[in-house]
Amino acid sequence: MLGDRSRLRGRRPCAPARLAAVLLASTLPALACAAARAEPVAVTFPGPDGTMLDGRLYRPAGPGPFPAVVALHGCGGLFDRTGAPSARHADWGERLAARGFVVLFPDSFGSRGLGPQCRVARRAVRPGRERVADAQAAGAWLRGRPDVKPGAVSLLGWSNGGSTVLAAARAGNGSFDRAVAFYPGCRAPLEHGWRDGTPLLILVGGADDWTGAEPCRALAEAARARGEQVEITVYPGAVHDFDAPGRPVRERRGLAYTVNRDGVAHAGTDPAARADALARVPASLAR
C-alpha cells in the first residue's frame, strides 16, 4: 500500500523460503510472514506543515477492514538503541495486531531529526501542538487505507504521548473515536480548563512521581461531574512505565519535568497493573 516500506528492524528474519513475501509486505500484507507475526513495517506519510512523518505499522493478517489505532510514543522516542521499536511499543503493537487492530506509531521526534526529549525543557515538538497535528495526520492516513474501518480509529499514547492524547481528545476536536492515555501530564490541562470531547480512558500509577496521579484523578472527576465520558484507573503502588514488559523499577535523574520538580522519578514494570492494562485497553478501543 502507498507509503509502506518493507525495511524491517530489530527482528529475527523470516525463513528464506518466505523472504519474498516479506519484501512484498507493502502490497501483499496477508502473505508476508511479517504480517503473520505482526512485524513492524516502515511507512512514511504526510504530516503537518510539509513534514514527512516516518512510522512503524503493525497489522493483522488478512484483508480487513480492521479497526485502527494511532499509538504515540513518550519523551524517549519510538526506537531503542538498536533502531527497533522499543520493547513497550513493540509489545503493544504485536498484541493489538493479534487482537485485530492496525496500529500506526508515528515518529514525532526522529522525523524531525530529534533524539529523546526527556531531559529537554524547551521542546520544539510539543504535546499540545506539533504532536496533536502528527496524530491527526496519522489518523487521516489510516482512514485512507482500504484495510482500515474509517469510523473505528482510536488514539493511544504514553507519557508525553499520553499528554498529546489529552490535547487531541479535548472538546471540539473529534478526530478520534476513542482514546486511551497512559500516565499523561494532567496538571496543565486541569489548570487550563480542559473539557473532554472523546470517550477517554486514563491509566496511571498511584506512585507515579514523573507525571503524577492526583492531577489526572482530579481531571477525570471534574469531567465526569460535567457528564463527560472520562474513565480513570489508578494502580496503587505502580510507577511510570508500569505496563512495560520486564523492566525493573529504577530511578531516573536529570528529567525536565517531574512531580517534585527535582528531575528525579521512578519507572518500571508493575506486573499486576500491566496485566490489567493488557486486558482493559483493547476492550476500550473503538471497533
pLDDT digits (tens, 9 = 90+) for 153-205: 999 999 999 999 999 999 667 789 999 999 999 999 999 999 999 999 999 99
Give yes or no for a contact between 168 and 154, defined as CB atoms under 8 angstroms apart. no
Annotate 203-215 with b (16+ C-beta within 10 A) or e (fewer).
bbbbbbbbbbbeb
> Taking all residues of the chain, what is their mean pLDDT, rounded to a whole number?
88
Residue 273 near residue 242 (C-beta atoms within 8 A): yes
pLDDT at 175: 87
pLDDT in tens, 8-59: 333 433 333 333 333 333 333 333 333 345 689 999 999 998 999 999 999 9
| pLDDT given at position 39 | 86
Shortest CA distance to 108 belongs to which of 60, 148, 55, 69? 55
Neighbours of 81 (CB within 10 A): 6
The residue extents of the domains of the chain are 38-284
The whole-number pLDDT of residue 96 equals 98
* pLDDT number for residue 113: 94
Judged against a pLDDT cut of 60, whether residue 150 lies above it is answered with yes
Q: Which pLDDT score, from 0 to 100, does residue 9 have?
A: 37
What pLDDT, on the 0 to 100 scale, is given for residue 174?
A: 72
The fold for domain 38-284 equals Rossmann fold (3.40.50)
Using an 8 Å Cβ cutoff, are 235 and 265 in contact?
no
Query: Has residue 285 got a pLDDT over 80?
Result: yes
| Model confidence pLDDT, tens digit, residues 79-125 | 999 999 999 999 999 999 999 999 999 999 999 999 999 999 999 89
Q: Are 121 and 256 in contact (CB under 8 A)?
A: yes
Sequence-distant (≥ 6) Cβ neighbours of residue 40 within 8 angstroms:
8, 9, 11, 34, 56, 57, 58, 85, 90, 93, 105
